[in-house]
Chain A
Amino acid sequence: MKVADLAPQALRARLQGAGLRLRTGPAVFAVRSRLDAVADGIALHYAEHDSPGEDTFSDFHVSVDRPRGLRRWWRPQVRFLFDGESPFTPLPGDQGFPMLEWGLNWCLYSHLHRYVILHAAVIERGGRALILPAPPGSGKSTLAAGLVWRGWRLLSDELTVIDPARGDLVPVPRPVSLKNASIEAIRAFAPQARFGPVVHETTKGSVAHFSPPADAVRRATERALPAWIVLPRYVAGAPTALTPLSRGRALMALVDNAFNYNVHGVRGFETLADLVERCEAFEFSYSRLEDATALFNRLAASAALRA
Chain B
Amino acid sequence: MSGSLRRYAAADSMRWRRWNDEMVVHDAASCTTHLLDGGAGEVLVSLRDAPHALDADTLCRRLLGIDAPDDNARLMLEETLQRLAQVGLVVAIDP
Contacts and interface: CB of A to CB of B under 8 A. Distances in A.
Given A266-B15, A273-B17, A248 B31 contact: no
Contacts of A255: 33
Most A CB contacts (10 A, CB to CB) among B22, B24, B28, B31 go to: B24
Contacts of B17: 247, 251, 273, 276-277
Contacts of B7: none
A270 interface: yes
Contact of A252 (B15, B20, B33): B33
A265 B22 contact: no
Contacts of B33: 251-252, 255, 261, 269
Contacts of A251: 17, 24, 33, 35
A252 B35 contact: yes
A273 B14 CA distance: 14
Contacts of A252: 24, 33, 35
Contacts of A265: 28, 31
A86 interface: no
A266 B24 contact: no
A277 B18 CA distance: 11
A266 B26 contact: yes
A84 to B, nearest CB: 31
Given A266-B15, A273-B17, A273-B24, A249 B31 contact: no
B28 A248 contact: no
Contacts, number: 37
A262 B35 contact: no
Interface in B33-69: 33, 35
B10 interface: no
Given A252-B35, A265-B31, A246 B20 contact: yes
A269 B35 contact: no
A256 B93 CA distance: 32
Contact of B26 (A246, A269, A276): A269
Interface of A: 246-249, 251-252, 255, 261-262, 265-266, 269-270, 273, 276-277
26 contacts: A246-B19, A246-B20, A247-B22, A248-B19, A248-B23, A248-B35, A249-B35, A251-B17, A251-B24, A251-B33, A251-B35, A252-B24, A252-B35, A261-B33, A262-B31, A265-B28, A265-B31, A266-B15, A266-B26, A266-B28, A269-B33, A270-B15, A273-B17, A273-B24, A276-B17, A277-B17
